[in-house]
Amino acid sequence: MTTTIRNATVLPCTPEMPVIAGGHVSVDGARIASVGPGPGPEADEVIDADGDVVMPGMVNPHAHLPMTLFRGLGEDVDDRLFRYVLPLERRFVTPAMVRIGTTLAALEMIRGGVTCAADMYYFEAEVGRVLDAAGLRGVVGQTLADFDPPDHASMDEGFALTAALADEFAGHDRIVASIAPHAPYSTDIPVMARVADWAAARPEVRVQIHLAEMTSEMEWADRTHGCRPVAVVDRAGLLIPGLIAAHCLYLSEAEIARLAEADVRVAHNARSNAKAGRGIAPVAALRAAGVPVGIATDGPMSGNTLDLFAQFAPVSMFQKLLGRSRGPMPAVDVIAMATREGAEVLGLSDRIGTLEPDRSADLIRIGLGAPRLHPVYDIYATLVFAAMPDDVTDTMVAGRWLMRDRQVLSVEPKKALRDAGQIAASFRAEMARIDAG
């Protein structure tokens, strides 16, 4: 099967970030065959894009997908984590709950043009299976933590779950297994060192961690190890090439240089960090040092959305605030981070993140019909400051259409919403019980 999309505003997101007006993208099977100006080759299916944007599917390098089911729960309750969320997780996080939450997440991502996400949660094989069935791409991270998580009572059990996950998805085209020590303070040096050894024997498995996210984490590192979190991870031997570090808010210049030297990648969660009042990650400094930084949503409990468009303005504005100038983080860089650089963060840039021959055909079409998108002087500024997920009309992953003309083809929307509503009803009942004391 071959497809040619022509008469498009093609954004290949290659390093020069060109804009190809009246261009084409042609797809042969699961791969991109050609990209460039003009109408391109004839094909089994020819689509006239009528000037719409065609660009790589976007990459979200840090999320907790099943937590869609917690979206907006206890939003204004100061101690909601301990009052509601942890008790609900202990009681209700099961493979079935993870399936339902991830299905809702898959639906949201397909509709918002996000074709690849890195996840960190529990019963992670279920996350991989749901993303696979939905046709999406994912890096699925089995969380390891010492706070009595729902799916492992000991680290031995956690490592066994991760080994089974890696076996299940070994050689899979779209689903990559990952091991996710939750954070320095919830694993500590012996577990992180064990992860480093384990990952060295399984080079295809990605490693994810929350790092330098909270002041309480800084205090823990100082109290327990007399240093800062980056140094704790370094002592454990876990600052390894390809490590996906989420957040990285509190970094010194020396730590930024160390992350660059170690070939660590960063997932930036501007909106969720701001909502928690935590701070602004030094994204411009990280990127200047050569550290790839992707744009992430974090979980829908802390960030409310899996929509990357909602992240774009904060990502740009926060760096401008830090730099007290319009200069930092131009719109074109934001789109580069959401595509090519996000793929680099996940170690997938040989497959996705750009529209180039032989890359996987993971692409989206963004309609420009909405008045708020006009006129267009700089298409990148339009996408960063005015576009919304509903502007995405079509989503393709590995040559398969997951959405055509806003109709999602690989997830059943009504069932996804109904199932999520049923879980929410059980959460509500438990919250009422908690409130009644």
Instruction: Give the footprint of Zn ion on this chain (CB under 5 A).
Output: 298
| CA–CA dist 108, 58 (Å, integer) | 13
Q: Which is nearer to Zn ion, 245 or 364 (CB)?
A: 245
> What residue is closest to Zn ion based on CB?
298
| CA–CA dist 86, 365 (Å, integer) | 39
Q: Which is nearer to Zn ion, 49 or 246 (CB)?
A: 246
Question: What is the closest distance, in whole angstroms, from the C-beta atom of residue 65 to Zn ion in the complex?
Answer: 11
Question: What is the closest distance, in whole angstroms, from the C-beta atom of residue 328 to Zn ion in the complex?
Answer: 25
Q: Which is nearer to Zn ion, 255 or 298 (CB)?
A: 298
Q: Cα-atom radius of gyration of the chain, to the nearest Å?
A: 21
Q: Which is nearer to Zn ion, 299 or 399 (CB)?
A: 299
| CA–CA dist 210, 27 (Å, integer) | 37
Q: Which is nearer to Zn ion, 115 or 208 (CB)?
A: 208
Calculate the alpha carbon distances from 240 to 229, 252, 266 in Å: 15, 19, 13
Q: Which is nearer to Zn ion, 185 or 380 (CB)?
A: 185
Q: Which is nearer to Zn ion, 298 or 341 (CB)?
A: 298
Question: What is the closest distance, in whole angstroms, from the C-beta atom of residue 246 to Zn ion in the complex?
Answer: 5
Q: Read off the tokens for 273.
A: 């960090």
Question: What is the closest distance, in whole angstroms, from the C-beta atom of residue 141 to Zn ion in the complex?
Answer: 10
Question: What is the closest distance, in whole angstroms, from the C-beta atom of residue 70 to Zn ion in the complex?
Answer: 13
Question: What is the closest distance, in whole angstroms, from the C-beta atom of residue 66 to Zn ion in the complex?
Answer: 12
CA-CA-CA-CA torsion sign (311, 128, 66, 211): negative
Question: What is the closest distance, in whole angstroms, from the C-beta atom of residue 217 to Zn ion in the complex?
Answer: 12
